[in-house]
Every structure is written in structure tokens, then in C-alpha cells.
Structure 1
């Protein structure tokens, strides 16, 4: 038997024989360890408290709190609680908040490349395709290069919940042609603003909570945000009655979970893993919640709120792709953006080829069992 084994065995034997005050002390000390206060992580979102996305951020917090056995407590705050909706990146970097729940396009004004991590050109891949690129196609490394090396930020970010493609949006009158879009004052964000400008629209970039008031004041006369539930929560149906689904302006977006870099470095390894992999758990939960709520709220908008729901015309969709064709060479003048776009194209060509070739025509099956519903 080795000396180390003998030493360990002797220690265990002595420990077993110890009683009285030593044993009592250990019993008294144990509850004190268990009763340690959890590490509180202050996470602010970019969403109003009434928005479904605030619920989705809370879904993340609930899972992290549960998986950590009470050692972590994520406190979720709405937009404006500490900083404005578009300022969470700086707040995380500066340590004003520990984490944020947002989207990269909200810091597009700092670096246009932010839009490539959710609202960039659509090469034929869905939001799920592009979130897969982030984790399996080199996207995370490029994201870290942008945020940490190019921008010099002390942040660590992860993508979660591949969103359904965003509707073209809300209009006061039906819109079917590109000519009808000329001069529209339209709300969107990120590279979608550049895209819509090429279609003749005048674009305002506003946080979600400012959209309906701007519509009421005439600051804008058409807008998009993201989905039927958020749009209903904002009261979109009270200021417009024509809702156009389907668009290429933001068809591949995911949430961004941002963490302060210093906090993550100091975090115990198992708790750090819970924070990171909690994004994956929340992503699944968010997708399921969105499927139920978005579809139910679309039904409400159409059947009870008097909203006319249609698909965006093929003419406008073709024009959006043509506008991307114009915009992409301008973006590629920046070497980093070209590197990102080259990576995304290669990923989409490989992965979406398989996805599209393999996918059955779901619309054909839907029409068979629910005839007439898709004839919009």
C-alpha cells in the first residue's frame, strides 16, 4: 500500500473516531454552508415588461435558478430599468448590469457587422440555419472577434431561440407593389433599414415601446416589429389593419444573451456552464411558447380584431432580394463583414441544400387536411 493511500486511510479512520465537539461542530457548520446567499445576476432586457419576450427572458432565469440549486439567482429587469433598450451592450461591458437579453441589431449603430448575427442577407437559410452557423459553422468565433477584438468589449455573447421570420409589417392600406412603398415612413432596425431605403422607403429605427406612439403621431406610417404576440401587445391592431406576413428583411434572427466578461471569468466552472447551457434550454422553451402564442394571437388579430392578414406579394419579395444584391457588395467593402458573409454563404450552401432537398412540401399536406386556409 502506498504512503498516500495509508495517509488517506489513517485520516479517514481518525475522522470516524472523532466525536463530541468536533462532530457537533461539523453538524452545526453544515447548515451555514447550505444557507449561503445565492449569487445574484442582474439581467436587463430590451423589452417592455408587458412583452412576451420579457416572459422568454424569465424562462431563461427560471431554468438557471433551478439548475443551480439556488446558488444563482437571475433577476430579470425590463427595458429602462437601468438603461434604455438600445444601451444594454454598453451597460454589460461597463458592469452596470451583469447580463442582457436583447438582439445584436440593437447595437448596429456601433458596428454594422452586428446585423450579420441575425438580420443580414438571406441566402436561403432560416433563423435555425443561421443559429446553427453560430454554434457549428464558425459564427461564435467571428462574433467574439467583432465584440472583443475589433470593438474591444469585455462581453461574452450567445445566441438563443431562432425566431420565426418577421412579418413585413403593418400598413394602413393594402400594399402589393413596390411602387406603393415609395416614400413610406417605415420603422425597422439594422441592415433592414438600408434594405428598405433601397425600396424607396424612409426609415426610422425605434425601440419596440415607441412604435405605436410614433404611428399615432404620424412620425411613421408603417412598421414592423417581430411577431403577432408582440405586435398585439403593443396595440398594433389599433393603429393599422393590414398585416403582411413573410419578408426577407429579418428572416434569420435569434435572441442575444450577453454576459459581462469579468463576471464570467470569476464564475465557478459549474455555474458558468449553467449560464451558458441555460441558453440552450431556454431556446427550446422559447420556441415552444412562440409556436403556441404567436399562432393564437394571429388568430385573434384576424378573427376578433378585424385585421386583414395576407402574405407579402412576390413582387415585393423579389424586390427585397434584388435590394440585398445591391447591398451585399457595399457591405463586403469591409474585410470583416466579407469574412462573415463568406462564412455564412458557405454554411447555407451546404446545410440548406440538405434541408431543402430533404424537406417534404408541408404546405401540400396542410392544404390536404385544411383546404382553403392558405389561399390568401
Structure 2
């Protein structure tokens, strides 16, 4: 054994032992090694990964941020590491209002936000979630986008008219958004007269029609703006996000139910040049990960929002249903907004007509076949008060 008493010698010993015990090659008809022969080896190479710099539009503990990070995780897992999402915090590169410009130019590769944040470019973009919606849910609105002609109309608006080099992945249908947070209960439309109110997108016209003075305030600044008197009242989105942004700390009355944003959806905006340059399977992974998070995220919302709803009640927040007179006034305001915007914007008119046609197609079927859900009749039967 002394001749193997070195590192190289040990390697020689291993080789000698292996060669003595290895089965002899078996020749095949073609004269190549068969069973028992070492298989030809091809070097396994890891494909180069592609990194996307995608900026969030949300606070770090917001449920929307969780939706964003869960999409990121799905993309990276499904791609086996070939796609990396560098999830940048809100305002890391630019503010939320100009994130789409940064994506267009390539300063950012993507943004996770809502179209209402770039409403100033063209009011028609706000129809993706902050429009009248015509009695349909967020799920039905996504159905219109992907199967009712909405995607073609939106891409024509954004890519042709606005000349933005972007691709949009819409997902995550939201629940009906509350009317807002107030000092006093809202009992009728006249209560909005002279009120300084925070909202976004086409909803600015709804509150303006009720008599409010609408002021633009970023989500993270809403609570402090309420405290300082910059605004008197505000809406953001849902019981979980509203809690994260501190609205219950500034106001103790939440008026629930509203038509200002009845069925909003989230958007992932991607740089089109970079997206189109990727292999088709990676494009598909980014798209189908958004679809997956659309369902997964909605399931998560049920858990999070119901939990935070109970916490708000435990804190003494009064949650009051919006009176019908206010809801009726909102619908009349929508009539005016749609007429005015359609007269001045052909793309707005096309999208509105398409949404109306979709609503007239799916609502009668859903209304005739389904029990409205959630269903108070069965709930109150099984859980009598």
C-alpha cells in the first residue's frame, strides 16, 4: 500500500480498484459500447438568467405588495431561476405617477400598480378598474379584457395612441371599494359639499359631482394629510390596505359600498422590447404567473380583509352602509362623465361601448342562473342572529 501513500497515489488506488471491478463493455450491432458501458456525457450548462427590475407601487406591508412579491416568487420558481425579479420598493427609481414612463424608456423593466396612477396621460386608461363597470364584478371585468375584446382596445390605446413601449398583464380582481373614511356619517349627497376629498382616476369626477373638492394625495400620505387638514376625508381601497396606510388612525367612520371603484384590477406593466426579446416560454411564465396570482391573490384577500375587518370593529371603528341616495347620485354622475369623456375621446368611447356590450352579454346569464354571492339568505339561515 506504500505506493498509494500520497494524494495522487490514493487516486491511483481508486482507479485501480474501479478498473478491476468494472464490467466489461458489451459490443452492440453497431460496434458501439452497449449495456455496462459508460454513457457519453454532455456538459450540463445553466442557461443565463434574465433579471427584471420591477418597481412596486405599494408600501412594504400592503396586501398589494404581497401580491407583487407572490407573483415574483411564482415567476422565479416556474422558470427554475432563469427569470429573476428585482423587486424594487415604491419610489425607488421614480414616483408612482411616472413609473410607466420609466418602463417605456427602459429605466425600469416593469412596474406593479394600477392604470389610475397614469390617468393623466389619457382618461380612458382609468376604465381598467375605475370606470362604471355596469354591474359586473372584477372577475367579469378580467373576462372582458381577455375574452371580450378589452386587451386589443387597451393595447391600441396605450401602444398606438400613447406610443408607450409597454405590455400589460392585468390580474387580481378587487372587491367593491368603500366610499371612504369620514369624521361624521354620510347621510346624503349634500354632505360632500365643500369637502376636501382624496381619490384617483375617473373617480375624481364622481366625488366632484357630489360637491367635493378632489385633491391628489399618494396612498402613503393619506393619513398624515387627514391629520394635518390637507384633506377632510379619503378613500384608498380595502380594509387591509386602509389599515396599513393608517386611515383608521385618522378617521373612525368607514362608509362601505360605493360605485366610484366597484371592480378594480391590478396591472403589471413590462417593457415591451425586453419582453418580446425573451424566449416564448419565459414570456408565458411571466403571463401565467400573473394569472396564477390573480386567483391565489384573491383567495388571500378573503383571509386578510376579513381578519382586518374584525380588527377595525374591535377598535371601535363604525362601518356604515352608504345610503342609497348617495349611490344613486354616483350613478347619475357616471352618466355625465361617460357622455362627456366619450364625446371628446374616441378611444374612451370604444372601450365604454365594448364594456357595455360585455355587461349586456354576461350579466343576464349570471343574474338568471346564480344566487348572488355572498348570499345573506343562506348565511342568516345557518347563522341566525
TM-score by length of 2: 0.88
Instruction: Indicate the larger mover: 82-91 or 132-141.
Output: 82-91
1:244 matched to 2:255: yes
Counterpart of 1:366 in structure 2 is 379
Structure having the higher Rg:
2
Distance 1:281 1:102 in 2: 17
Deviation track 1:193-245 (CA, whole Å, cap 9, x = no partner) reads: 01110110110122211111111110101000000000111111110000111
Separation in structure 2 between the aligned mates of residue 143 and residue 71 of structure 1, nearest angstrom: 30
Cα deviations by residue, 1:37-74 (Å, 9 ceiling, x for unpaired): 52111111111112121111001001010100111111
**Which of residues 202, 206, 214 in structure 2 aligns to 1:203?**
214
Long gaps (5+) in structure 1: 1-12
Q: Is the 8 A contact 1:166 1:227 kept in 2?
A: yes
Matched, 1:161 2:138: no
Is the Cα contact below 8 Å between 1:54 and 1:78 reproduced in 2? no
Query: 1:16/1:246 Cα in 2 relative to 1: closer, same or farther (>3 Å)?
Result: farther
Query: What does residue 258 of structure 1 align with?
Result: 269
**1:287 corresponding residue in structure 2:** 298
Stretch deviating more after TM superposition (49-58 or 356-365): 356-365
- State the partner residue of 1:9: none
- From 80, 88, 97, the counterpart of 1:86: 97
- What is the CA–CA distance in structure 2 between the aligned matches of 1:132 and 1:288, rounded to whole Å? 18
Provide the secondary structure at the position in 1 that maps to 2:251. coil
- 1:126 is the counterpart of 2:137: yes
In the aligned structure 1, how far is the partner of 2:260 from the partner of 2:117? 15
Q: CA deviation at 1:257?
A: 1.0
Q: CA deviation at 1:355?
A: 1.2
Measured after TM superposition, the shift of residue 16 of structure 1 is 6.9
Distance of 2:355 and 2:239 partners within structure 1: 28
Distance (whole Å) between structure 2 residues aligned to residue 286 and residue 106 of structure 1: 21
Give distance in 2, aligned partners of 1:335 and 1:88: 25
Check conservation: 2:133, 2:355, Cα contact below 8 A. no
CA RMSD in angstroms comes to: 1.8
* 2:333 maps to 1:329: no
Which residue of 269, 290, 304 corresponds with 2:280? 269
- Determine if the alignment matches structure 1 residue 106 to structure 2 residue 117: yes
Matching of residue 39 in structure 1 with residue 55 in structure 2: no
Gaps spanning 5+ residues in structure 2: where?
1-29
Matched, 1:339 2:372: no
CA distance in 2 between partners of 1:200 and 1:133 (Å): 32
1:97 is the counterpart of 2:97: no
Contact 1:58 1:76 in 2 (8 A): yes
Distance 1:142 1:174 in 2: 40
TM-score of the two chains, using structure 1 as the length reference: 0.90
Secondary structure of 2:266 counterpart: strand
> How far is 1:14 from its partner?
9.5
CA distance in structure 2 between the partners assigned to 1:237 and 1:210 by the alignment: 14
Q: How many residues align?
A: 351
Pair 1:269–1:300, CA change in 2 (3 A): same
Report how far residue 276 of structure 1 moved: 1.0
Q: How far apart, CA to CA, are the structure 1 residues paired with 2:59 and 2:33?
A: 58
CA distance in 2, matches of 1:141, 1:196: 30
Which 4+ runs in 1 deviate beyond 3 A? Answer: 13-17
Choose the corresponding residue for 2:322, options 281, 298, 312: 312
Match of 1:157, SS state, is strand
Instruction: Answer whether contact 1:140 1:158 (CA < 8 A) is retained.
Output: no
Could you give the per-residue CA deviations for residues 14-41 of structure 1, whole angstroms, max 9, x where no partner exists? 9979xx9x956x3xx32xx12x552111
Residues in 1 aligned to 2:205 and 2:262: alpha-carbon distance in whole angstroms? 15
Distance in 2 between residues matched to 1:112 and 1:94, nearest whole Å: 22
Please say if residues 167 and 270 of structure 2, whose CA atoms lie closer than 8 Å, have aligned partners that are also in contact. yes
